[in-house]
Amino acid sequence: MQTISTNHVRGGTQGVYCHDSAATGTPMTFSAFVPDGDGPFPVLWYLSGLTCTHANVTEKGEYRATCAEQGIIFIAPDTSPRGDDVPDDDAYDFGQGAGFYVDATEAPFAQHYQMRSYIETELPALIAAQFPVDMSRQGITGHSMGGHGALTIGLRNPDRFKSISAFAPICHPIDCPWGEKALGGYLGKDRNAWRDYDAVALIQDGARVDALRVDQGEADQFLDEQLKPDALRAACAEAGIDLSLGLHPSYDHSYYFISSFMADHVRWHAERLKS
């Protein structure tokens, strides 16, 4: 693991790191905020959205003061493999910057686009070895495509994650243009293979957790066509999952929205990670 930068800020150390990934076959970059103190600390994973890298939330997320206050490590990985030899697409919603947190099975993406394995297995092992974390206390959150990743990874691993939340997630990618393009391109035409990467479908197929938290701006330009929180609400109601769905007038899809509610999410996770 190579240290790219470290800065002391808000009662902790903000670092950016790079390592060679066996899962993706590429270098991968992530950021980590570690509060002052000896630890071990609970860890909150943050997955970013379309076109983003680790840097978006690191620079705009406004999480550090609350993470230091609550004693939580905050990890923000990249959204996809990158490099000259990594297949890409001219559109913003597919290819590099749009890995959708899947393990791709379709050529030419299967060689490098193994983001599920990277996020679920490889990166946690690295974090456990290199940082003062208590891996028995993990939470996960994310935004948009990363909200989709947080919900699906959390639902697939209920014994690992004590808390799951999302900002404006793609709740039902099987039934929206972003999801149909990405899941079809990475996984092929068999829509049954997509269900493992759809929060609504996972719940319909039996995935269970005690609670989920989602916050959504009502002025979000992607709300009706792409995000579909009502489908998640219906699935949770049917399954008996306690969904806290906060709808916020005037807020859009940007980091102005995320930063407005980030402290609330960190504290919500802290209550569950410390209990």
Length of the chain: 275
Query: In degrees rounded to 5, what are phi and psi of residue 232?
Result: -65, -40
User: For 10-24, how does the pLDDT look when each residue is reduced to its tens digit (9 = 90+)?
Assistant: 999 999 999 999 999
Is residue 259 within 8 A of residue 60, CB to CB? The reply is yes
From CA 250, how far away is CA 265, in angstroms rounded?
19
pLDDT(33) > 90 = yes
Q: Residue 176's pLDDT is what? A: 98
CA distance readout (Å), 62 to 42, 66, 68, 141: 18, 8, 12, 14
Is the alpha carbon torsion for 39, 45, 51, 57 positive or negative?
negative
Contact, 240 vs 190, CB < 8 A? no
What does the pLDDT read at residue 275? 83
Residue 123 pLDDT > 90: yes
Q: Which domains does the chain have, with CATH numbers?
A: 2-273 (3.40.50.1820)
Q: Which residues are tagged catalytic?
A: 144, 220, 253
Q: Is the whole model's pTM more than 0.75, yes or no?
A: yes
Mean of per-residue pLDDT scores for the chain: 98
pLDDT digits (tens, 9 = 90+) for 221-257: 999 999 999 999 999 999 999 999 999 999 999 999 9
Distance between CA atoms of residues 34 and 133, nearest Å: 9
